[in-house]
């Protein structure tokens, strides 16, 4: 089960840490051996952080492998709606739905060695032949694009170009961008380490 950890106290109060790792499990059940982050556990934790006076800031550590899009967007929307300072730190990789999660925080950071994978919404490579299903996935994709561009500085055309690139991934459509490129494109605010993330929260808290 996911949990929140107290990292320390600034002059104003505590800094809390929330880890979002592996695949995000929502309504679609994943195999028992898959390392998952269950969104029904995370949502009340975020609400509790927002309502606890002693907590002055939230550190979100991200190393995701995709997962349930609706669950990921629900977590991202909740983080984006917080009044308290929040900072996300991408470690290792942030795949698919991890991108909205990264930009949802008030300040986003990425480790120099980390990468982010951007690709269209799809279900295990299955070809979608029903028009209604295609429209449904198109609407989900538009929600993701809208959220990412609203909560970062990346241009819509750049994000769509990265998402639909056909020469970056061998067996898929999309792009892998590394730390410096993510910052240059405006997707992530800055390169950073744990010390940078904590310094930001202590200053803001």
Helix intervals (H) in 16-119: 39-51, 69-80, 98-104
Answer yes or no: 151 catalytic: no
107-110 and 86-95 strand pairing: parallel
Which of 86, 88, 94, 96 is the catalytic position? 96
Whether 119 is catalytic? yes
Choose the catalytic residue: 88, 94, 108, 119: 119
Contact 88, 60 (CB under 8 A): yes
Q: Which of 148, 160, 153 is nearest to 100 (CA)?
A: 148
Question: How far is residue 174 from each of residues 19, 61, 165, measured CA to CA in Å?
Answer: 26, 24, 5
Give dist(CA 162, CA 153) in Å, integer.
Answer: 15
Are β-strands 115-118 and 175-178 bridged in parallel, bridged antiparallel, or unpaired? antiparallel
Residues marked as catalytic: 96, 119
């Amino acid at each position: 089960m996911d949990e929140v950890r107290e990292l320390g106290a600034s002059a104003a109060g505590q800094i809390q840490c929330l880890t979002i790792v592996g695949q995000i499990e929502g309504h679609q059940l994943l195999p028992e051996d898959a390392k998952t982050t269950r969104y029904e556990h995370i949502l009340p934790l975020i609400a509790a952080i927002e309502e606890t006076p002693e907590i002055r800031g939230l550190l979100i550590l991200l190393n995701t492998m995709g997962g349930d899009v609706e669950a990921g967007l629900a977590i991202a929307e909740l983080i984006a709606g917080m009044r308290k300072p929040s900072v996300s730190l991408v470690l290792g990789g942030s795949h698919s739905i991890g991108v909205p999660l990264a930009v949802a925080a008030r300040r986003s950071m990425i480790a120099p060695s980390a990468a982010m994978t951007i690709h269209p919404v799809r279900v295990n490579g299955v070809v979608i032949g029903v028009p209604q299903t295609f429209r449904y996935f198109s609407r989900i994709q538009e929600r993701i694009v809208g959220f990412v561009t609203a909560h970062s500085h990346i241009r819509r055309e750049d994000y769509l170009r990265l998402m639909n690139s056909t020469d970056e991934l061998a067996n898929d459509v999309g792009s892998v961008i590394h730390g410096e490129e993510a910052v240059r494109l405006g997707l992530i605010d800055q390169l950073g380490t744990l010390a940078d993330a904590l310094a930001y929260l202590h200053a803001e808290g």
